[in-house]
C-alpha cells in the first residue's frame, strides 16, 4: 500500500508549540493575544488619522513587508513532492549505506526545476531541468542533486559564475528570459567548446520535457561507493521514470508557455492528487575504482562525458514513489536546501573539479537565501536521524541547547565523549592517496576532447529527432544578433557533423564553414559502439 504522507516537518503531523493552526475559533496576533478585528486600523475617530500606537497594524504590515526571501541564484522555479524510496537491496554489496539495504524504506522530498528562469517564469521553456532528491535516511540526510541531462556545460566550477552570467538575461535590458535571442549564451558555449555536449542535449527534445514525471535524472559526476568490507567502486547515478521519457514538440512548448505557464507544476500536483503516483527506479552504472579513475578510455572525473550504457549497464537499486503534494509551497518547496555534500556512510565523492566547487557553493548560497546558518532546522530540511552537534546560536536558532560546555570532549556536561568505535557508523572519507604533484591551474589532457561524444549523441538520434535538433539550433541562432557568434557556433556544429552544420547554416541563410569539419578520433570505447546507445523509455 501507499506509505503515509510525510508532513512538512518530515516527522509526521506537526504538533506542540510549533503548530500554526489556521482553523482556530478566534484570530490572534503573533504573541497569541486574541484580536477582535483585523480589518480596521486604529484611528482617532472613524474619519480621523491612523494612530502610530496601532501595534497590530504595524505587526501585520511589517510582517508582510518581509515575506519575500531571495530566489535561488539558479533553479529558482521549481515544483516538489514527498514520497518514499524502497530499496531492492541490490546495492547492499557495493555500499554500506543503510538506505540501500534490502527492504529499507526511506522518506524522500524531490524538487524539480528549470535552471535559468526566475521564480515566476514559464515551465515549458527550452532548458535543463533540475532533479534534486533528499533522502531522510536513518544515518542522516543524503541529497542526490542532479539534472535531467547526464552531462554539464563546464568541467571546472570556477567557470560556473561565468556560464550562469552568460545564460541569464542580458544585464542591460534583462531580456531574453528564455534561451532564444541569447547572444551571451551562444557566445559562451562557442568560446568554451566543452559546453558543446550539454548544449546539444538542450537543443534535442530532452530540452523540452513533456512532464517532470517523464524525465530521467542523472547525478552526472562520478561518485565512490564504499562497501561494508571497505571495498570501493565508482558509480554514476540514474533515475529512470516508469512512465518512460517523453518530450513536448517545440510548438506545444511555445503555446503552453502562453496558455499555461504552470503546465509542469500543475501536471505533477494533479497526478499526485489523483493518486497516479509517479515512480522512478534508482540505478547505478558501476565502474572499477582504479587509480586512473578512467573507464574504457573515458575520464570519469570529466562531467561533460557519459559512460554509454552498453559499456556499463544501469543496475537497479530501488524504487521511488512520489505520493504527497507539499502542504505549503514556501515552507517546503521554497525553503528546501539541497547540497551535494550531504552524504551518508557508504557514499563518497570523487575529485571531479566541478563537484568540488559545488561542495562549497550550496551551503554558501543558502546562508544568504535562508537568512543565516540555521536552515537545517527548517522542518523540510530536518534530518530524521538524531542530531548531536556543537553548532550554536546564530540567526533563526530554534533550539534551546542545555549544558555549559558546547565542545567535545568536555568533562563538565557529561555524556557523549568521542567514544571508541564511533567510526563504525560514521561518515569517514575514503582515504584515497593524493598524487604528488605541482600546484597548477590547468585541465588534464583527458578533458580536451569536446566533440566525440556530441557526435555520438547526434548519430544516435532518429531522423525526426535530428530534424528537431536542426530546427532548434536554427531557431535559437536565428534570434542571435551577433554574426561572429553565429559563425563560431557553426564551426562547433561542423565539428559534430557536416550535415547538421550545413542544414543549420542553410536555415540561417549563411554559408556553411568550409574545410572545418574535423573528424575527431572517438575514444576506443565509443568507436566500438555503432551508431546508437539506448536511452530509457525510447
Nearer Cβ to ligand HEM, position 85 or 160? 160
Q: Compute the least distance from the CB of residue 75 to ligand HEM, in Å.
A: 3
Q: Is residue 109 a known part of a binding site?
A: no
Residue bearing cell 522555479: 77
Helix (H, G, I), strand (E, B) or coil at 151: coil
Taking the C-alpha atoms of residue 18 and residue 286, their distance in angstroms, rounded to an integer, is 44
- 148 an active-site residue? no
Q: Is residue 295 a known part of a binding site?
A: no
Cell of 199: 548544449
Query: Of the residues 56, 75, 450, 468, which is catalytic?
Result: 75
Please provide residue 272's backbone torsions phi and psi, each rounded to the nearest 5 degrees.
-70, -40
How long is the chain?
A: 538
- Do 88 and 338 form a contact (C-beta atoms < 8 A)? no
Taking the C-alpha atoms of residue 491 and residue 264, their distance in angstroms, rounded to an integer, is 35
- Do 139 and 425 form a contact (C-beta atoms < 8 A)? yes
Taking the C-alpha atoms of residue 204 and residue 470, their distance in angstroms, rounded to an integer, is 9
Nearer Cβ to ligand HEM, position 93 or 357? 357
Cell of 508: 540561417
Nearer Cβ to ligand HEM, position 6 or 220? 220
Alpha-carbon Rg of the chain, whole angstroms?
A: 26
Taking the C-alpha atoms of residue 409 and residue 402, their distance in angstroms, rounded to an integer, is 16
Q: Compute the least distance from the CB of residue 72 to ligand HEM, in Å.
A: 4
Q: Is 242 exposed, middle or buried (0-12, 13-18, 19+ CB in 10 A)?
A: middle
Closest CA to 181 of 244, 108, 230, 125: 125
Nearer Cβ to ligand HEM, position 51 or 69? 69
What is the H or E stretch that residue 54 is in?
Answer: none
Query: Of the residues 56, 82, 147, 202, which is catalytic?
Result: 147
Residue bearing cell 503573533: 30
Pairing of strands 232-241, 298-299: unpaired
What is the H or E stretch that residue 285 is in?
Answer: strand 279-288
- 202 an active-site residue? no
Bridge partners (DSSP) of residue 322 are: 83
Nearer Cβ to ligand HEM, position 374 or 466? 374
Q: Is residue 105 a known part of a binding site?
A: no
Q: Is residue 47 a known part of a binding site?
A: no
Q: Compute the least distance from the CB of residue 347 to ligand HEM, in Å.
A: 16
Nearer Cβ to ligand HEM, position 341 or 537? 341
- Do 392 and 401 form a contact (C-beta atoms < 8 A)? yes
Q: Is residue 224 a known part of a binding site?
A: no
Neighbours of 532 (CB within 10 A): 14
Q: Compute the least distance from the CB of residue 434 to ligand HEM, in Å.
A: 22
Cell of 532: 546508437
Q: Compute the least distance from the CB of residue 158 to ligand HEM, in Å.
A: 8
Q: Compute the least distance from the CB of residue 113 to ligand HEM, in Å.
A: 5
Give me the residue whose beta carbon is nearest to ligand HEM: 130
Nearer Cβ to ligand HEM, position 137 or 361? 361
Please provide residue 84's backbone torsions phi and psi, each rounded to the nearest 5 degrees.
-140, 145
Percentages (nearest 5) of helix, strand, coil residues in the chain: 30, 15, 55
Q: Is residue 72 a known part of a binding site?
A: yes
Q: Which residues contact ligand HEM (rule: CB under 6 A)?
A: 72-75, 78, 111, 113, 130, 132, 145-147, 152, 157, 160, 220-221, 303, 336-338, 354, 357-358, 361-362, 365-366, 369
Q: Compute the least distance from the CB of residue 297 to ligand HEM, in Å.
A: 21
* Binding-site annotation: residue ranges for heme: 72, 111, 160, 358, 362, 369
* Binding-site annotation: residue ranges: 72, 111, 160, 358, 362, 369
Q: Which residues are catalytic?
A: 75, 147
Amino acid at each position: 500500500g501507499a506509505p503515509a504522507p510525510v508532513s512538512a516537518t518530515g516527522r509526521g503531523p506537526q504538533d506542540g508549540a510549533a503548530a500554526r493552526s489556521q482553523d482556530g475559533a478566534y484570530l490572534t496576533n503573533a504573541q497569541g493575544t486574541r484580536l477582535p478585528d483585523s480589518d480596521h486600523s486604529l484611528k482617532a475617530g472613524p474619519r480621523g488619522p491612523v494612530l502610530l500606537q496601532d501595534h497590530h497594524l504595524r505587526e501585520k504590515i511589517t510582517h508582510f513587508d518581509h515575506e519575500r526571501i531571495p530566489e535561488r541564484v539558479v533553479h529558482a522555479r521549481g515544483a516538489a513532492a514527498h514520497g518514499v524510496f524502497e530499496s531492492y537491496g541490490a546495492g547492499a554489496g557495493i555500499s554500506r549505506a543503510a538506505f540501500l539495504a534490502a527492504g529499507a524504506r526511506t522518506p524522500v522530498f524531490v524538487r524539480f526545476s528549470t535552471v535559468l528562469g526566475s521564480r515566476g517564469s514559464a515551465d515549458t521553456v527550452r532548458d535543463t531541468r533540475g532533479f534534486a532528491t533528499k533522502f531522510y535516511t536513518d544515518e542522516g540526510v543524503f541529497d542526490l542533486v542532479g539534472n535531467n541531462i547526464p552531462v554539464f556545460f563546464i568541467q571546472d566550477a570556477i567557470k560556473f559564475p561565468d556560464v550562469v552570467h552568460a545564460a541569464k538575461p542580458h544585464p542591460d535590458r534583462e531580456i531574453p528570459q528564455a534561451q532564444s535571442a541569447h547572444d551571451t549564451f551562444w557566445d559562451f558555449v562557442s568560446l568554451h567548446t566543452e559546453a558543446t555536449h550539454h548544449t546539444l542535449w538542450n537543443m534535442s527534445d530532452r530540452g523540452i520535457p513533456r512532464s517532470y514525471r517523464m524525465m530521467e535524472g542523472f547525478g552526472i559526476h562520478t561518485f565512490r561507493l564504499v562497501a561494508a568490507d571497505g571495498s570501493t567502486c565508482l558509480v554514476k547515478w540514474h533515475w529512470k521514470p516508469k512512465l518512460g521519457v517523453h518530450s513536448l514538440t517545440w510548438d506545444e512548448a511555445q503555446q503552453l508557455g502562453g496558455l499555461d505557464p504552470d503546465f509542469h507544476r500543475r501536471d505533477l500536483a494533479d497526478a499526485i492528487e489523483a493518486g497516479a503516483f509517479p515512480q522512478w527506479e534508482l540505478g547505478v552504472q558501476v565502474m572499477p575504482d582504479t587509480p586512473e579513475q578512467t573507464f574504457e578510455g573515458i575520464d570519469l572525473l570529466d562531467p561533460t562525458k557519459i559512460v554509454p550504457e552498453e559499456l556499463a549497464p544501469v543496475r537497479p537499486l530501488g524504487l521511488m514513489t512520489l505520493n504527497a503534494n507539499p502542504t505549503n509551497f514556501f515552507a517546503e518547496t521554497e525553503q528546501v536546501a539541497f547540497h551535494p555534500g550531504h552524504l551518508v556512510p557508504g557514499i563518497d565523492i570523487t575529485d571531479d573539479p566541478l563537484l568540488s566547487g559545488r561542495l562549497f557553493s550550496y551551503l554558501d548560497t543558502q546562508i544568504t537565501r535562508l537568512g543565516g546558518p540555521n536552515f537545517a532546522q527548517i522542518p523540510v530540511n530536518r534530518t530524521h536521524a538524531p542530531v548531536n552537534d556543537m553548532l550554536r546560536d546564530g540567526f533563526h536558532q530554534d533550539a534551546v541547547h542545555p549544558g555549559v560546555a558546547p565542545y567535545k570532549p568536555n568533562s563538565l556536561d557529561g555524556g557523549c565523549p568521542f567514544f571508541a568505535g564511533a567510526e563504525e557508523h560514521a561518515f569517514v572519507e575514503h582515504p584515497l592517496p593524493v598524487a604528488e604533484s605541482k600546484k597548477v591551474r590547468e585541465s588534464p589532457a583527458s578533458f580536451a576532447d569536446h566533440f566525440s561524444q556530441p557526435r555520438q549523441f547526434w548519430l544516435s538520434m532518429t531522423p525526426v529527432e535530428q530534424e528537431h535538433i536542426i530546427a532548434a539550433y536554427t531557431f535559437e541562432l536565428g534570434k542571435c544578433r551577433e554574426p561572429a557568434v553565429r559563425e563560431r557556433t557553426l564551426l562547433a556544429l561542423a565539428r559534430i557533423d557536416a550535415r547538421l552544420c550545413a542544414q543549420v547554416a542553410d536555415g540561417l541563410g549563411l554559408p556553411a564553414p568550409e574545410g572545418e569539419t574535423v573528424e575527431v578520433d572517438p575514444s576506443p570505447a565509443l568507436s566500438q559502439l555503432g551508431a546508437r546507445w539506448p536511452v530509457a523509455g525510447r
